[in-house]
A and B are shown apart, each in its own frame.
Chain A
């Protein structure tokens, strides 16, 4: 008897919602698109490694470079992740290690190893919208913004892209009022994000400027952040990208930060 009522209710719901859906060109579940995009951008493979070369250009055209290796391991897709960053250049940051245990439901744990002092420092991780190593990338661009921090709506769905507007639930915590992301319909990679400031003016863009297929996984191999206001930009080039190299969880510990030999073994690690 109960079952019949439930079925009747669902049927009714279907009838009511059907005409609404028909008015849009297609049925799009925004959350599903965003989840897929999050997995494509930040959770490809079970683990991964890339060499990154960043060029930071300021408003006067002066360039600074950063060279580092990133290792990543996912505990579960969409869930906890571990990051390990080994710096190579410039020489004053060489051999420094930055490690993050990224959490979805609480603050991340971050560590920094300073080899000159043999010091493992823990870093407060409350503000994720600060510059990553002095570049135009922010911590959130590197490790992903927590999906629970924004509300979303689909503003456009054309032949190639979904365009989704994200509005922060706590606008006082961030420097933007909203941002829109274009997501490629083929592979769900976010290819461009445009940030609006508190006055609704565009001031920052993050773009995937080159995408390649690596081990069957669509991968951003070049990305660019532009600060329209400061007229500065950063280009990141990813090389020697590898997935599923079999990283163990114990790699993301103090032992691997403080031991340069182990760190370098990791940096040179490739899939067997």
Chain B
């Protein structure tokens, strides 16, 4: 009953906005044009509604996997020597039965000298060469949004940071400092179920994971740095990260709560045109140094990570991308000793293949895409077929499936296998 009320609220909230936009355009001057002409503010945004349903019976979760109305507005204002940007979302969520506001960008950008750029505030950051596989990108993510079929934009979470770029000839140094750890949105059981090793089964709303995140300003901080240089067509970079595991990869034995152990990551990447396409390679060492050489049973051990990928056009308006990913546990013998009896130990090597196919049709108004992860070592995977159709410059419909499968329930993708779902969305942009 409450759900119906939320849906009603959502519709009431989205419809007038959409209508007002349409009406404004009838007068040949839209609201955004008025803002621009009168105040120098660039305004953009969209209203959308998305719905999704679980295709596998899960007694601990709702059948409705996604049900929401969202309104996003972007405002930018340029001043002589700086720029202010704002991007915020209002979300009426029928699954959590909550109204949420999220600021995705509220930042001040300026350049104190020719060689320095600074961006200060709340923003989304991305780097690295992987396609939906991240090694050196330790910025907060929201895989839950991705898994239920929200727009790809929401895979990335905004964080409160200072981002600087230092440009010294051919070399670029980027530094992102986050004074207070944020962490990624993880699957906790609230709206997606997962395999809980303690419970030995897939759990959901009956057993929502409680976590204890580090939250002291300037003490529980995160620093990401990248040094990059281009050699002709080859882009290379070195990376460093000092902070925490982005998801709760540890447990406090006294409270039983999930915790975020300390983590440093050191890595490198290269990306270059080759064989008529783009090749990329990326490596990283995840130094989980609170784990004491892999002997602490409550903390995820250190790992080596390796990625190699290639993307190219396979035919007219058809692009294919392929990646091989390897995760290797450091000091595996030590880790093996810490695995409690009855618990499944992870393999020393976890291998994964990904494939992306993108086909553009009907003068690029229709996009058919497929992204698939498959792990031959875990025999599990995640497949995401999707379509997107632009009815006009303003109106877009999309839809697809999030298909999880796995031979076992405890593996990386296998643990989400009760969340297989289908989704559709309609978006009006202005």
- Which A residues lie at the B interface, using CB under 8 A? 56, 58, 62, 64-65, 89-92, 94, 101, 107, 109, 116-120, 122-127, 129-131, 133-136, 175, 230, 232, 250, 253-255, 259-262, 264
Contacts and interface: CB of A to CB of B under 8 A. Distances in A.
Contacts of B119: 259
A63 B360 CA distance: 19
A133 B172 CA distance: 30
Contact of B78 (A127, A133, A136, A264): A264
A262 B109 CA distance: 9
Given A118-B156, A124-B277, A134-B365, A255 B393 contact: no
Contacts of A260: 76, 83, 85, 109
Contacts of B363: 56, 58, 131, 134-136, 230, 232
A130 to B, nearest CB: 6
Contacts of A120: 126
Contact of A117 (B126, B228, B311): B126
B117 A92 contact: no
Nearest to B82: A261
Interface in B306-350: 311-313, 316-317, 319
25 contacts: A58-B363, A64-B393, A91-B430, A92-B46, A92-B396, A116-B153, A116-B156, A117-B124, A118-B123, A118-B124, A119-B126, A124-B276, A124-B311, A124-B312, A127-B316, A131-B363, A131-B364, A135-B363, A136-B363, A250-B167, A259-B165, A260-B83, A261-B82, A264-B78, A264-B83
B155 interface: yes
Contacts of A250: 167
Contacts of A89: 393
A116 B273 CA distance: 25
A126 B117 contact: no
Given A116-B153, A261-B78, A133 B273 contact: no
Given A58-B363, A91-B44, A126-B312, A107 B317 contact: no
B273 A107 contact: yes
Contacts of A65: 393
Given A107-B273, A230-B363, 8 more contacts: A62-B392, A89-B393, A116-B153, A119-B126, A122-B278, A126-B313, A130-B317, A255-B172
A250 B276 CA distance: 26
Contacts of A253: 230
Contacts of B125: 118
A254 B277 contact: no
Interface string B119-137: 1000111100000000000
B369 to A, nearest CB: 14
Contacts of B278: 122-124
* Chain B CB within 10 A, most for which of A94, A127, A129, A230: A127
A117 B126 CA distance: 7
Contacts of B277: 124, 126
A57 to B, nearest CB: 11
A134 B271 contact: no
Contacts of B110: 261
* Chain A CB within 10 A, most for which of B83, B156, B230: B83
A138 to B, nearest CB: 11
Contacts of B172: 254-255
A235 to B, nearest CB: 15
A135 B313 CA distance: 19
B390 to A, nearest CB: 8
A234 to B, nearest CB: 10
A232 B276 CA distance: 30
B152 interface: yes
A32 to B, nearest CB: 32
A259 B109 contact: yes
A101 B235 CA distance: 14
A249 B137 CA distance: 28
A107 B109 contact: no
Interface string B357-380: 000100111000000000000000
Contact of B155 (A101, A109, A117, A123): A117
B16 interface: no
Contact of B233 (A62, A109, A127): A109
Contact of B394 (A90, A117, A125): A90
Contacts of B264: none
A117 B169 CA distance: 27
Contacts of A232: 363
Those 3 A-B pairs whose CB atoms lie nearest each other, nearest first: A134-B364, A90-B393, A261-B83
B214 interface: no
A117 B392 CA distance: 23
Contact of B45 (A90, A91, A127, A129): A91
Contacts of A230: 363
B65 to A, nearest CB: 23
Contacts of B319: 124
Interface in B71-94: 76, 78, 82-83, 85
B144 interface: no
A94 B394 CA distance: 12
Contacts of A262: 111, 117
A250 B191 CA distance: 47
Contacts of B394: 90-91
A90 B82 contact: no
A92 B313 contact: no
A118 B313 contact: no
Contacts of A123: 278
A133 B430 contact: no
B429 interface: yes
B317 to A, nearest CB: 6
Nearest to A65: B393
Nearest to A109: B233
Given A90-B394, A134-B363, A126 B276 contact: yes
Contacts of A255: 117, 165, 167, 172
Nearest to B72: A116
Contacts of A131: 317, 360, 363-364
